[in-house]
Structure 1
Amino acid sequence: MAKVVRSEEVAPQPWANGGGTTRELLVADDSSWRISLADVSRGGPFSSFPGRRRLLTVVDGPVLALVVDGVDHVVEPHRPFAFSGDAVVEAAVPEGPVRALNVVADPAVSPHVTVLELGRTSALPLADDQAAFVLKGGSEEAGAGSLVVGPGEVTGRSTVAVVSLDRG
C-alpha cells in the first residue's frame, strides 16, 4: 500500500510573504523538492524561492492570472505552468479563488506534472520518484484531495495530477 497524505489533515501554514496559505504535502528528505497545496483567495505577490524551479497547477477554481517578471500569463485549471523561483511574480484571481498544486525543486531536479483521467477499473502505477494528487474521484483509501506517494498505485475512476521528479 502506498503512502497517502490527505490534504485536509495537513495544517495550513502562512506563505513566507504572508499573502496566502499553503499545506506542505510532501518534502524530500534532503529538501531538494517539496509538493504543496496553496489557497489563493486574493491577489498579491508570490513568495520567491531563489535558485529553485517552480511548477504550479491550478487544481480547483477558475483561472489564476500571473505577471511573471513583467509578462502576463493566464494559468488555466489542470495546465501546469513552470517558472523560476527567482522571478518576481504578482498574482490576481479575476474569477474567484483558486487552489494550486505547487512543486518547488532545486536545479538538480526536473519536476513534471501530467493530469490524467482514469477509468473505473484503471490502476496507475507510481514509481519511487512519483506522486499523484487526486483531483476528483479516487478510492476509499485515497479520495479527492489526497496525495498518493510512490511506489504504489492509484485506483478507481479519478482525475489525478501525476508529479514526476527527475534527477539529473
Structure 2
Amino acid sequence: MRSDDVAPQPWADGGGTTRELLVADDGAWRVSLADVAAEGPFSRFAGWRRLLTVVEGTVLELLVDGVSHVVEPQRPFAFSGDDDVVARLPEGPVRALNVVADPSVSPHVTVLELGRGSALPLADDQAAYVLTGPDARSLVVGPGEVAGRCTVAVVTLDRG
C-alpha cells in the first residue's frame, strides 16, 4: 500500500494531518504517518505507548513534559501517551511514522538499509515502511518481504 493513496485526516488542533496505515483488529495498536506542519501540542493517548520516527524532513524538537528532545531522522523516539508533548520545527515541516500501542503491546522500530540483492522477510507481527528505493512511501505488511536496495523502517508489535 502506498501512503499517498491513504486520505489524510486533519488533527483536531490543525497542526498537521495523519494517514492511518495499519490498525489492529482489536484496536490495541495503530501505525500512522503524520505530517507535522506547524508547531504545537501533540494529542494525548493516556495509558498508551508512543513511538515516533522522523521519515522525511530534517529534525523535530519535542518538548516532553518541558524537557527538550531533538529527534533526528530515522532515529526512533519513544514516549508515553500520558506525557505533555509540544512539537517545535526548527528547520521546517517533517513527516513521522507513528506507532501508538496499548500497554499489552511493545512496539519497536528498526531502520535498516538493504543492498541490491537483499531480501528482508517480515513476520506476521511486522510491517515495513519503505523510506527510499523504488517502492518509497509504501507499507509492506507481514508475512511478506521487502527486497532490493532500499531503506526501511521495520515496525514490530510484540504482544508478549
TM-score range, shorter chain: over 0.9
Aligned length: 160
Aligned to 1:146: 138
Deviations 1:26-72 (A, max 9, x none): 00000100000000111000011111100000001000001001111
The whole-number CA distance in structure 1 between the counterparts of 2:127 and 2:85 is 26
Shift of 1:17: 3.3
The whole-number CA distance in structure 1 between the counterparts of 2:12 and 2:131 is 26
Please tell me the residue identity of whatever aligns with 1:59: V
Shift of 1:19: 2.1
Aligned: 1:103 with 2:95: no
**Alignment partner of 1:124 out of 120, 123, 134:** 120
1:23-62 superposed matches below 5 A = 23-62=19-58
Deviations 1:133-159 (A, max 9, x none): 000004xxxx10001000000011000
Q: What value does the CA root-mean-square deviation take over the aligned residues?
A: 0.8
Aligned to 1:85: 81
Most deviating of 16-25 and 58-67: 16-25
The whole-number CA distance in structure 1 between the counterparts of 2:91 and 2:14 is 22
The whole-number CA distance in structure 1 between the counterparts of 2:137 and 2:12 is 23
Aligned: 1:75 with 2:71: yes
The whole-number CA distance in structure 2 between the counterparts of 1:87 and 1:20 is 19
The whole-number CA distance in structure 2 between the counterparts of 1:77 and 1:20 is 18
The whole-number CA distance in structure 2 between the counterparts of 1:55 and 1:16 is 20
TM-score, normalised to structure 2's length?
A: 0.98
Deviations 1:71-130 (A, max 9, x none): 110000000000000111000110111100000000000000000000011000000000
Structure 2 unpaired stretches of 5+ = none
Please tell me the residue identity of whatever aligns with 1:163: V
